[in-house]
Amino acid sequence: MSLVLPLPLLTEHTRPLLTEHTSLTPYLYAFQTQDRNALQKQVSGGGVVIYQTTNTLYQSDILNILCDQLQDESRISDIPPMKPRANELYLIRSEQEDDWKCDQYQWINDGNSSVTMGNKILKKKFYKIKLPGMKTNNAKTKKRPVGSLDFKRTAYYFEDNKTLVLVYYEGDETVYVPTHHGNSKKTASEFARTAPSVLRRIENALQSGDKTAMDIYRESVCDLAVPGTHQGILNVRNVKQVENIVRKVNEDKRISKDDVYNLVLLAYHLEGFIHEVTVFPDLTSIIALSDMISIVNQLLDVNTTDYIPFVFFYDTTFKLGDFYVSPLVFRNIIFENEPIMPVAFLIHARKKEKVHSKFFDFVASLFPKLNKKAIPFVTNREPGLVNAIMKNFSNCDVVMCWNHLINDFKFNLQKMIILPCTFLT
């Protein structure tokens, strides 16, 4: 049973849907003209399929198509169309929710709306074709791109399924004039947007740091799955595009001047809390609690027994964004149940021995009696960390944490396939 809802009052911004209802017949992209037949051969496999052609689209038609649980896969496009024509309707399933937008036209967003139907929300996005030139409003000096409602694109999708989009084109596609990218110095070349999924894959490949911009470019342009009509859309446009993404990824990783400035400013305002900030060659920050420093120095004067030993714990416990946090905590033996309390923290970007050594130089200056009292440190088996402790506290024993030992034991046994994983849980 089809669901038919009355259309709302129609205005220019709600995009009046045509009122003549014609038969809805699916066509392959190839079947329209001889040129489009050649295009279908290039696409190879029917990646672009016209769901139907119609000069009328009712809201009931939209709902029936998007709600069809037994959707005919042969009528669904898995790549964006190439310069579609008026009255063409496409049902596009894409890897990224915005891939469908890359139809090789340039559009201007002209608003959106939504309709709630039961527990579903139907989203509508409206676009008008972009024309060459810029315009200035009377009250504003800022220039805006010129758009025309003579050729429009409307997209429909459910909010909980943004990768399946119904796209309808109406008007006259011949009004479109190819234009270059706004930042391009080469005005003769037409701009076509690269699919967001392609850009995302490039960013992910760059995160590992194993590949150069040229490596990624070569792999992308040699992808045989990309049809000739979609070069630069479903793969990278040129090496410069990859280099721009490399620059963006590096900028995202880089610490801004504001971040460093705010950290230094915080150190000035919170006197006795942030003790040291180093920017180069490794960004580190040493934080210590003055009250806890006083308590630890008092505990170093207390004669402890073997039954209740005074002990420090140190480990790179947390990873916050791009930084590690290594807390130095101690067992407070003057309280019942000997609670574990923090005394200092090291925030660092890399796990290097010299970073930990610098931190323990600071710890040694706080607690001059620590090495003489031979207070043990409990930590993991990270060599750089152990070496940093032994370098500054030669009289102190370094004891391995039993939790880390058990996990290492399990890992090595599983690696050697001596015991099944279920036995070790």
- Residues 195, 37, 163: CA angle, nearest 5 degrees: 30
Give the chain's mean pLDDT: 79
Q: What is the pLDDT of residue 381?
A: 75
Domain architecture of the chain: domains with CATH: 1-191 (no CATH), 194-254 (no CATH), 271-416 (3.30.420)
- In this structure, the strands spanning 107-117 and 120-136 are antiparallel
What global pTM score does this model have?
0.52
327-381 pLDDT, tens digit per residue, is 999 988 888 788 889 999 999 888 888 889 999 999 999 998 888 888 888 888 7
Work out whether strand 88-93 and strand 49-53 pair parallel, antiparallel, or are unpaired.
antiparallel
**Of the candidates 252, 342, 246, 249, the residue with the CA atom closest to the CA atom of residue 289:** 342
* pLDDT for position 123: 93
pLDDT under 50: residue ranges of the chain: 1-46, 423-424
Instruction: Give me 280's structure tokens.
Output: 């180069």
- What is the predicted pLDDT for the residue at 91? 93
Phi, psi of 18, deg, nearest 5: -65, 150
Chain segment 129-139, per-residue pLDDT in tens = 999 888 877 66
Name the region of 272 (left: φ>0; alpha: ψ -120 to 50; beta: rest). Answer: left
Chain segment 169-218, per-residue pLDDT in tens? 999 999 999 887 766 666 667 888 888 889 888 888 887 777 888 988 89
Hey, which residues does 130 pair with through a beta bridge?
A: 147
CB atoms near residue 36 (< 10 Å): 17
The pLDDT value recorded for residue 268 is: 82
